Each structure stands twice: as structure tokens, then as C-alpha cells.
Amino acid sequence: MAWNSVSMEVVYNVFGWTAFVAWSVSFYPQVILNFRRKSVVGLNFDFVVLNLTKHSSYLIYNASLFFSSAVQKQYRQKYGFNEMIPVAANDVAFSAHAVLLTAYTLFQIIIYDRGNQRVSKTCIAIVSVAWLSAAICVFIALPGHSWLWLVSCFNTLQVVMTVIKYIPQAIMNFRRKSTVGFSIGNILLDLFGGLANYGQMAVQSIDQNSWVNFYGNIGKTLLSLVSIFFDLLFILQHYVLYPAKKTATTPDLDSVVSKEPLIDSPHGQDPENV
């Protein structure tokens, strides 16, 4: 399906690549900080592992829908032959970049000082169940060649991982009544990327006079909704509820999180990662 307006297509691409840049750049502060400190103490290992599962499943979905003619055919059969495929080149580029950067961060966890931190058993169990479920979906889809349903399973998986990965940090901030050690710069970039992502989807819907773009790619819609919700929550915590000037008397992180552990609460958080 072709664009009805060239200008709308240009705006669509601008929004898309803006989201790509914002989301992609948001990975680097942590990588650079780890390199400078030669330490990953204070980085939540569970977050990294869950994030790798999330981005890997999202890459499978985006690449399949963008490159596979069989998946595209089934998509149009379900939502209409005049509908545009809701995955753009920037979606595939972002997913591939995210997998590489998250995997590199995991590599840093292996080679740098980890202190007494580790990946929790809860996280390992969650990831194991996630990939086992994905494998089951593959076997179910094979007989009937239900490729769209299969990639939608991976899309659902990435949404679930997106929800789970943010929760430990939000709870930790609440328990500590502080965001010291938590980089708000990543969150601001993530929020900007999420809003640009929604702008891209809206532009396509307006041009095509159809909102199938939103419910036909529910994973992308929910991804932005969940990300924006938690980004706003973190911004509220950082600037309103627990501003830095009030954190001078904040209890030591180890003493707080050791009482009520999260999925895998970080120890020895370093204030230079603010």
C-alpha cells in the first residue's frame, strides 16, 4: 500500500528515526560508566538479562514482519490487503542495536568487578519459562504454517518482559525513598523515544485513514504505553517525590534492599551513576 501524502511519509520517517536515535543512545551511558569504573557494581543484573530476552523477542517479531513475505501475506489477510505493514526499517534497526548493546552489557558483567551481585533464581526461572513458552509456540505453529500467530507470540513475550523489567527499579526507588544511583538521563531519552514512536504510528494512521496500525501491531502500541508509564513514574520519583537534595540522609542501599529483596536488588550502588 502506497502513501497518500509524500509529506506525511517524510514526517513518518523523521519520527521513526528520531525514536531510533533516542532509544539507541539511551543504552550508552551505562556501557560507558561500566567501562570507566571497570565495575558493574550497582547495575541490576536481572534487568540486563530480562532486557536481553525482551529485545531478542522483539527483534524476531520486527525482522519477521518486515522481511518475510509469508508473514506479511498473513497479516494482510487478517487486517486487510490495503493495510500497510506496521513495522518500519527503524524498528528493525533499533531491535538489532538493542540486542547487541544489551549483550555487550552482559559481557561487561562477566569481565568486570561484580562485587557480591548475581542473577537471581527468580530471574532465571522467568527467562526459562519465557523461552520454553516460545519453543512451544514454534511447535504449535509449524503444522499449520501459522507464522503471523507465531511472531505475535514473540511480540507478546517482549511486552511481558517490558513490564517485568521496570518493576524492580520502581520498587527499589520507593523503598529507598531515593533515586541516587539511578540514571535519569536514560529515562528522559526513553520517554522521548516512546513519544516519537507514537507520533510515527499516528502519522501512518492519519495518512491511511485507518487505525489498524495500532491494534494490528498491539505489541508496539503496548511497548510505548508501558515505557511511557514507567518513564513518567521514574521522573516523578526523581524530581518530585525523592529529589536529590533530600537524599543526604537516605539509608545505605545495602541495608534497605537486604531487608526486602527485589528480583535481584543491586548492592553497593555508586552515586556517580546518577
**Model confidence over 154-179: pLDDT tens digits?**
988 988 898 888 887 787 778 778 76
Which pLDDT band, with edges at 50, 70 and 90, does 211 fall under? low
Residue among 61, 134, 49, 68 at smallest CA distance from 91: 61
pLDDT in tens, 92-146: 988 999 999 999 999 999 998 888 778 889 999 999 999 999 999 999 999 888 8
For the record, the C-alpha cell of 175 comes out as 523503598
Q: Which residues pair with 39 in a beta bridge?
A: 113
The residue with cell 505453529 is 141
CA distance 118 to 114: 8
For the record, the C-alpha cell of 137 comes out as 509456540
CA distance 46 to 53: 11
SS3 at position 38: coil
Q: What is the pLDDT of residue 220?
A: 65
Contacts (Cβ under 8 Å, ≥6 apart) of 88: 12, 13, 16, 66, 200
